[in-house]
Structure 1
Amino acid sequence: MIFKVKFHISSSSDMLSKLQKLTVLGLGGGNKLSFLEGKNTSKVTFLSQVRALDLTSCNFVHFPNFIQHLQELTTLSISNNNIKTIPSWLWNKTTLESLEVSNNLLMGDISPSICNLQSLVELDLSSNNLVGMIPSCLGSFSQSLQLLNVSGNKLTGNIPQIYVKGNLLQLIDFSSNKLYGQLPRALVNCRMLEFLDVSRNHFNDSFPFWLGSLPKLKVLSLRDNQFHGAIMCPLKYTFPQLRIIDLSQNRFSTKLTSEIIMCFKSMIISNKRQLDFKDVIHSDNAEIDIDSHPFSMSNKGVVMDYLGSQYLHHMVAIDLSCNKISGEIPDIMGSLNGLVVLNLSNNMFTGSIPSSFGKLSSLEVLDLSLNSLSGNIPQQLTELTFLDFFNVSFNNLSGPVPENGQLSTFDNNSFEGNKDLCGIQLLKKCEDHPKPPLQKPDGDQDSESGYFFEFYWMVILIGYGGGLVVGLAVGDAFSVDVYRLLKKIF
């Protein structure tokens, strides 16, 4: 139920005036307030001790003037309103540690005066209509800044080069803007960084292997840009904590070598607890519609809507879709047993589907469509008991589709475009084809697997739309939630 409330702050505050020690005031959360301010808001003495103010979803069209008189204010959330401008007096509130103005109608440039707020720990200006360049001071103005989110705007130009050593940045989200150029190498100074999303921009750069030196990086999304060339991973750049990597919809053209796969050794789990989709959505009283299927098709692969942290906290994912990656898929990829989502669709892969994929016991999404793969579908894939989405359409596969396990639950759409495939799931039935024997992986595969170290971990959030989208409902609004989950889980 949504309440519509008229709140006259200067004359109808008798009840609140009795709360002389009020430090936290929350009027948000879906209430549609009509905020009627009197002429003399400076006399609102009962709010003088307020340190945290929540005015989300309050139907505001401008910043309430009384805020400028809150001398102790450290936390201000005024997201999900209809505000078009930020008043200049806000930049004088140097006590602010958290400022959230996301999902409004902000227009114009980001004022350089924002860098007066040198105590900021969290800054969220996402999902507005901001234009112009990112102020260069945002890379150095606050030694305490941990969260920087300006996604979902119309910002242009380069990312500022200034990221001072010793900064505390843990989340940087520049996604869904019009930024271009190269990623600043000064990002290697962000030694605390766990989440970096620059997706859906116009960056033109080679693979930033140097980010592999960041000791805590868990989520990296370069999706939908113009990154190009080979995916490289020199020995000292090993991405030690990486859980989610999205390189989809770029121009990478390389072979996927075993050395590259070894960079993702953090995606191996030991002592893992298997969770299937139904278990998770019932856990922790999750409010998720269990009748709605989480996956749907597009011409770019899998689309997965954000379902809530109850499902996504254990997500581990690789998305290389929509590039020009060639050669065979290395058998050693089957060693990444923590993978939940693997999307290699719309590339130039050749050879057979590795039978080692049968070892990916956590896998729920496998998309190999729109390649040039050949041979049979390995019988070992029937061992993937959690598989909820499977697509090998438009390849050169042949022979019968294995009838056991999860593979028998997918319809013809998952296999179309392979003229020599047959099976009970397909329109083309088999004519007494012998079933391929279930073979154990050879010794070489086991040997390669032994090169990996094993880690125990649990992982966080993902949104997935023809590539992994680190966003809410395949959008741009949940990176703050990602950051907070990272703080809780790790």
Structure 2
Amino acid sequence: MTMMGLLHSVALAIHFLLLFSSSLFTNCLTLNDSTTTHHHECHQHESNALLSFKQSFIISKSASYNTFSYPKTVSWIPTTDCCSWNGIECDELTGHVISIDLSSSLLYGSMDPNSTLFSLVHLQSLDLSDNDFSHSQIPARIGHLSQLRHLNLSQYGETTLSGEVPTQISHLSNLLSLDLRSYIDQPFENLVINQLQLKVSTLRSLIQNSTRLEQLRLNYVSVSSSIPYTLTNLTSLQNLSFRNCELCGEFPVGIFYLPNLSSLNFAENQNLHGALPASIGNLTNLACLALGKNSFQGEIPQSLFRLENLEHLSLGYNFFEGRLALDMFLKLEMLNVLDLSGNKLSLFSQVRDVNVTILPLIQWLGLSSCNLAGEVPTWIMNLTTLSYLDLSRNNLQGEIPYFFFRLEQLPLVCIH
């Protein structure tokens, strides 16, 4: 090859190299452009829907119970991006509203069955808890929000929803958590009025369709039925709460086999019956077990004392029986509520004194009518965090222990 030919070849190679480098650089720019996250502003029709929803309520200081409540919708101004409004979260890529948190927002008014809220079909989380919806019903159009993963409509005291929970709530097949706790509590009349009613057929459909449920709270919602056994199929359940739901019949033992349970509350249903299986000791995540004021029977299994994370244990006013060492509960180092009152148990204390460094920080101790005999165990003296103690209707002997007067946090002691 001549010198001229060689120079020509080198020039061509450099030309192609430059072309390739330029193309690669352009492609890199294009790639970087395409992967950059852009923040989209709220869609106008969604902004209008939120503003219309806001206009259907007034702000009332008595509408929320939470002492830290405040009117979140005050920041909802038409001239600003709704994605920046208090309580609103948008998808960064699409700009669609995906979360509304108006909990404790001092909202007062009735739920409109045709509210523009239900046009926000991209919603994944909706929290309207602790507002006053003036005893209105949950609209059937709640079922249009098919992407919902979290729904919280819980209300307290007089600020409650009422009527029948619509069957359409069972269409929310993506739900991970559902909270419909609702009640009116009138302690002086010893009366609780359940304002929401849930048909057992709707509950069964909900369980069948929302198979990934992790949280199901229905306290004070009237179900008036036996517990659907299909609950035992919801293996992701962590929190299951049916307090005072007018349930009856045998408690499905399979619920005690749900591996991820951290809280189980079926208190105050009166007519629930069953026994605690030894397998309950396998629920290593269990922090709350509340079965008080029912008709459970049998012995308390020794496996219960393996539950190292247990903080709340309420088994009072059932028909549990057997002879049981009270000191066994000291193994539950996280325990702060213990209620065994009103059973057929025979409690006894194996030791007079225990190492104070291993005592759980019990704040509530209910041991009324437990056939506890002899003197009051002196280790109770070292429960310095006690705020409630009931030892009434036992067979205790001796003088009132002096150490009761040293428990400064204890306003109430019942030992008669």
Q: What is the TM-score of this pair, normalised by structure 2?
A: 0.63
| Inter-partner Cα distance in structure 2 for 1:209 and 1:412 | 37
Offset, 1:263: 5.0
SS in 1 for 2:232: helix
| Number of equivalences | 309
1:193, 1:217 within 8 Å by CA — same for their partners in 2?
Answer: yes
Say yes or no: does 1:338 pair with 2:309: yes
Identify if the C-alpha distance between structure 1 residues 408 and 401 changes in structure 2 by more than 3 Å, giving closer, same or farther.
Answer: farther
* Structure 1 letter corresponding to 2:137: M
What's the CA shift string for 1:129-173, capped at 9, x where partnerless? 324432334245322x221111113231035255348x4322211
User: Could you tell me how far apart the structure 1 residues matched to 2:252 and 2:40 are?
Assistant: 55
**Cα-to-partner distance string for 1:184-233 (whole Å, 9 max, x where unaligned):** 11233323322111112222121244223223211111112201122112
Matching residue of 2:138: 134
The 5-angstrom pairing of residues 215-364 of structure 1 reads 215-234=235-254, 238-258=257-277, 262=279, 265-267=282-284, 316-354=287-325, 356-364=328-336
2:114 equivalent to 1:107: no
Structure 2 letter corresponding to 1:157 = E
Task: Give 1:198's aligned amino acid.
Answer: L
Deviations 1:293-320 (CA, angstroms, capped at 9, x unpaired): xxxxxxxxxxxxxxxxxxxxxx811011
Q: Structure 1 residues 126 and 247, CA, compared in 2 at 3 Å: closer, same or farther?
A: same
**Which residue matches 1:116?**
119
Q: Which residue of 1 aligns with 2:359?
A: 385
Give 1:125's match in structure 2, choosing from 123, 128, 147: 128
C-alpha displacement of 1:406: 6.1
How far did 1:417 drift?
1.6
> What CA deviation, in whole Å up to 9, does each residue of 1:84-139 have, x standing for no partner?
xxxxxxxxxx9321222333233223434432111111111222232443233424
Q: Do the aligned partners of 1:321 and 1:344 also contact (CA within 8 Å) in 2?
A: yes
Distance across 2 between alignment mates of 1:156 and 1:234: 31
Partner SS state of residue 339, structure 1 = coil
Taking CA–CA contacts closer than 8 Å with sequence separation of 6 or more, which of the two structures ends up with the larger relative contact order? Answer: 1
**Alpha-carbon distance in 1 for matches of 2:246, 2:311:** 26
Preserved contact between residue 76 and residue 86 of structure 2 (Cα < 8 Å): no
What pairs with 1:45-124 in structure 2 (closer than 5 Å)?
66-67=77-78, 73-74=82-83, 76-77=85-86, 95-103=96-104, 104-113=106-115, 114-124=117-127
Structure 1 match to 2:21: none
Give the aligned partner of residue 186 of structure 1.
Answer: 205
Residues of 2 paired with 1:171 and 1:412: CA distance?
Answer: 33
SS of residue in 2 equivalent to 1:148: strand
Asked whether the 8 Å contact 2:75–2:86 carries over to 1, the reply is: no
Structure 1 gaps, min length 5: 1-20, 25-55, 80-93, 269-314, 428-490
1:322 deviation in Å? 1.8
Normalized per residue, the structure richer in helix is: 2
1:175 aligns with 2:151: no
Supply the distance in 2 between the matched residues of 1:361 and 1:351 (Cα, whole angstroms). Answer: 23
Q: Quote the Cα distance in structure 1 between the aligned partners of 2:254 and 2:392.
A: 39
Matched position secondary structure for 2:289: strand
Which whole-Å CA distance do the structure 1 matches of 2:353 and 2:268 have between them? Answer: 27
Q: What is the alpha-carbon distance in structure 2 between the residues aligned to residue 264 and residue 194 of structure 1?
A: 21
Q: Separation in 2 of the partners of 1:412 and 1:216? A: 35
Alignment partner for residue 198 of structure 1, among 204, 208, 218? 218
SS of residue paired to 2:77: helix
Aligned-partner residue type, residue 360 of structure 2: F
Please list, as runs of the form range in 1=range in 2, the aligned pairs for 1:426-437 lying within 5 A after superposition: 426=401
Instruction: Give me the identity figure in percent.
Output: 26
Task: Letter of the 1:136 partner, please give it.
Answer: A
Tell me which amino acid in the other structure corresponds to 1:394.
S
Gaps of 5+ in 2: 1-38, 43-67, 89-94, 184-194, 403-416
Residue in 1 that maps onto 2:51: none
Say if 2:347 and 2:370, in contact at 8 Å, map to a contact too: no
Equivalent of 1:394 in 356, 369, 381: 369
- Aligned-pair RMSD on alpha carbons? 3.8
Residues 333 and 253 from structure 1, CA distance in 2 versus in 1: closer, same or farther, beyond 3 angstroms?
A: same
1:159–1:179 CA contact under 8 A, matched in 2: no
